[in-house]
Chains A and B, each alone.
Chain A
Amino acid sequence: AQKVTQAQTEISVVEKEDVTLDCVYETRDTTYYLFWYKQPPSGELVFLIRRNSFDEQNEISGRYSWNFQKSTSSFNFTITASQVVDSAVYFCALSEDTDKLIFGTGTRLQVFP
């Protein structure tokens, strides 16, 4: 059975701090995909990244970076130099090569000025 765990319920930082959101997943499949989504206060979920199980290369996109480690079943997300606009709930998600996307419980990030 697939499962996604985001142990951090809520994180508060001051603007310009770096912050890492943790994600641990469980799956029996060898082919799977990992995702991060952002849900700002407006409510609309926004896709951030997709990673397949065969590609452990870390990825950087502007102030965002992702660290995928199969050895620890983790797919962590780091925001560098956080900004107030980064305040949102962030969901990690897992798909076992199907349209069934399972979300973790989410981490609420609050960035204070």
Chain B
Amino acid sequence: DTEVTQTPKHLVMGMTNKKSLKCEQHMGHRAMYWYKQKAKKPPELMFVYSYEKLSINESVPSRFSPECPNSSLLNLHLHALQPEDSALYLCASSQVAGELFFGEGSRLTVL
């Protein structure tokens, strides 16, 4: 069983919808990440929170809005997405830089 839990596993939304992806880790890790992965491509870094503060934003469009309510939770708020935003969204946590523990991902389809 994964120690990083992502919900929902699948999400279908229209371009005008507002939805959120949720991630939870109980390993006491200091950092949490959002990555986006398209089919047959490597994961692309979106955001990193370290000690609950946003430390890296890879110039992600504002229609993606991250939130870290506490050290165990990470959300990704989605609004006015485009069909090209359809992808697998991966959450990860780490204590040591680069040693990431990933969740199973949330597969997002934007219609």
Contact = CB atoms under 8 A, between A and B. Distances in A.
Interface in B89-107: 90, 92, 94, 96-105
A95 B96 CA distance: 11
Contact of A105 (B42, B96, B100, B102): B42
Interface string A36-60: 0100001111110010000000000
Give the interface size bracket for A toward B: 20 to 34
A43 B48 contact: no
Interface stretch (A64-72, A79-87, A96-104): A96-104
Contact of A45 (B48, B50, B56, B100): B100
B14 to A, nearest CB: 25
5 contacts: A43-B105, A45-B92, A45-B100, A101-B97, A103-B42
Interface of B: 2, 31, 33, 41-43, 45, 48, 50, 55-56, 88, 90, 92, 94, 96-105
